[in-house]
């Protein structure tokens, strides 16, 4: 019998089947689902298995423990996506252990700053500044003003330069960005020129 078959048998009966637990415990995901759907609470026997995987650990903390799960935090903190979700939805605040992981990813640095810190996150700004889209989003939604460190990368994208002028600066771009947008000579250049007239 596979862990999936053992889990499904217990799930369909709607109760624990202790003799099947040694089979279920061999699989990270079915151990989590067994705790959540069958036991409907903590399953200490399955925790060492569940804690080996960032996704299952995050879901176990969120859905079963309904709070922090320190046993699995080292594993979760190595995965940028689940680190962000764990900080946002479980800790509901800053999470020091995950800062090194999250701060190396522009997308999740932006989300962490916007949704968890709810403000600037200077540690991650060098990473964010390498991505045109997230530099623009960070300026618009987090700083709510110019993101000078991100302007060089934004200036390489006419679309985001145009949006940056309209939604962040609300006027003429700094000279180096203005000149780069004029040189790109495309539909966004025309929109920008119309906007700043």
What is the reported pLDDT for 115? 98
C-alpha to C-alpha distance for 151 and 103, rounded to whole angstroms? 19
Instruction: Quote the domain boundaries for residue 41.
Output: 1-50
In this structure, is residue 95 part of a structural domain?
Answer: no
In this structure, is residue 35 part of a structural domain?
Answer: yes
In this structure, is residue 90 part of a structural domain?
Answer: no
Q: Is the pLDDT of residue 39 over 90?
A: yes
Q: What is the pTM of this model?
A: 0.91
SS3 62: helix
In this structure, is residue 37 part of a structural domain?
Answer: yes
In this structure, is residue 21 part of a structural domain?
Answer: yes
Radius of gyration, alpha carbons of the chain: 23
Give residue-wise pLDDT tens across range 63-110: 999 999 999 999 999 999 999 999 999 999 999 999 999 999 999 999
In this structure, is residue 170 part of a structural domain?
Answer: no
In this structure, is residue 87 part of a structural domain?
Answer: no
SS3 155: coil
C-alpha to C-alpha distance for 55 and 197, rounded to whole angstroms? 51
SS3 52: coil
Nearest Cα to Cα of residue 124 among 147, 140, 90: 147
Give residue-wise pLDDT tens across range 159-190: 999 999 999 999 999 999 999 998 888 899 98
In this structure, is residue 20 part of a structural domain?
Answer: yes
Q: Is the pLDDT of residue 197 over 90?
A: no
Per the structure, the count of domains in the chain is: 1
């Amino acid at each position: 019998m596979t862990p999936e078959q053992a889990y499904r048998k217990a799930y369909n009966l709607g109760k624990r089947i202790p003799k099947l637990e040694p089979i279920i415990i061999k699989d990270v995901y079915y151990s989590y689902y067994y705790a959540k759907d069958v036991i409907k609470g903590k399953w200490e026997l399955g925790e060492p298995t569940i804690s080996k995987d960032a996704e299952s650990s995050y879901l176990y903390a969120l859905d079963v423990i309904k709070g922090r799960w320190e046993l699995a935090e080292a594993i979760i903190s190595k995965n940028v996506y689940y680190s962000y979700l764990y900080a946002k939805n479980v800790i509901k605040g800053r999470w020091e252990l995950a800062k090194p992981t999250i701060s190396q990813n522009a997308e999740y640095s932006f989300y962490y700053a916007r949704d968890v810190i709810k403000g600037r996150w200077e540690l991650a700004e060098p990473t964010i500044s390498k991505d045109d889209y997230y530099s623009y989003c960070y300026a618009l939604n987090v700083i709510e003003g110019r993101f000078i460190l991100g302007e060089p990368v934004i200036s390489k994208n006419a679309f985001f330069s145009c949006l940056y002028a309209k939604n962040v600066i609300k006027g003429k771009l700094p000279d180096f960005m203005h000149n780069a947008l004029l040189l790109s000579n495309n539909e966004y250049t025309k929109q920008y020129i119309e906007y700043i007239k």
